[in-house]
Amino acid sequence: MARNPIWYVGYGSNMSAARLRCYLEGGRPVGGQVHHVGARDRTPPARDTAVTLPGRIYFAGESQTWGGGMAFYDHETAGPTPARAYLVTVGQFVDIAAQEMHRVPQPDDPLEAVVLAGLHGGRHVIGTGHYETIVDVGRLDGLRMLTITAPHAAAAVPHSPPGEPYLAMLAEGLRESRGWDRARCDEYFQRVCRQGR
């Protein structure tokens, strides 16, 4: 097993293995508008598995990559949320987080020390922007599971509908990890959007 393994948990477009690969290997996802530089360590995840998070997702803001609303995770509001956990190194997790924040991965990123030490109170806020909050969402096989979201709760911001390219990527991840067909995915997306009204 790789040094300092950790589970990165994706609940939005990163449930798609091809989408996550853009953060590790570099590239632009199908339907997306942003090219990613990739991680310093481009090794594929050692494993991945479907997981269920206790909180819920909501769509808000305007995605630079996809247009339309983005998925965020509110761990303090009852869910559940289907998600996908990838076994990566701490360094890879930090590089994924950097690119989620529209930054270039850097050696000696201070977030790496924070993650290695453990999140105080189960949460670490880097900034006020999108995907600048790291949340500890539990353990799997004795290893920490971390996800990335916004600093605000679902009720604190206006919700906005996601675009079809984004929903297609979410559906791809749900199909790969859970075997859901598109009709079941659409039912799930509609339920999430109704919760935001």
Residue range 79-106: average pLDDT?
Answer: 95
Q: Are the CB atoms for 106 and 39 separated by under 8 Å?
A: no
pLDDT at 190: 93
pLDDT at 196: 65
Q: How far apart are CA 139 and CA 141, in angstroms?
A: 7
Tell me which residue of 150, 187, 161, 160 sits closest to 76, measured CA to CA.
150
> Rounded to an integer, what is the distance from CA 118 to the centroid of its chain?
19
Q: Are the CB atoms for 191 and 82 separated by under 8 Å?
A: no
Check whether 197 has a pLDDT greater than 70: no
Tell me which residue of 4, 11, 17, 90 sits closest to 48, measured CA to CA.
17
The CA-atom distances, in angstroms, between 80 and each of 56, 73, 74, 188 are: 6, 11, 10, 11
pLDDT at 44: 97
Residue range 88-117: average pLDDT?
Answer: 94
Residue range 21-25: average pLDDT?
Answer: 97
**Across 14-18, 39-43, 119-123, 161-165, least confident range:** 119-123
Check whether 1 has a pLDDT greater than 50: no
Percentage of the chain beyond pLDDT 70 is: 98
The residue type found at 191 is R
- Is residue 78 classed exposed, middle or buried when 0-12, 13-18 and 19+ CB atoms within 10 A define those classes? exposed
Check whether 143 has a pLDDT greater than 90: yes
Task: List, in order of start, the domains of the chain with CATH numbers.
Answer: 5-195 (3.10.490.10)
The 10s digit of each residue's pLDDT in 48-89 is 999 999 999 999 998 888 889 999 999 999 989 999 999 999
The residue type found at 18 is A
SS3 151: coil
Residue range 31-36: average pLDDT?
Answer: 86
Tell me which residue of 82, 13, 26 sits closest to 51, measured CA to CA.
82
SS3 196: coil
Distance from first CA to last CA of the chain, Å, rounded? Answer: 44
Residue range 93-116: average pLDDT?
Answer: 93
CB atoms near residue 67 (< 10 Å) = 16
- With tokens 């995907």, the residue in question is 131
Check whether 22 has a pLDDT greater than 90: yes
Residues paired with 133 in a beta bridge: 125, 149
Residue range 122-151: average pLDDT?
Answer: 93
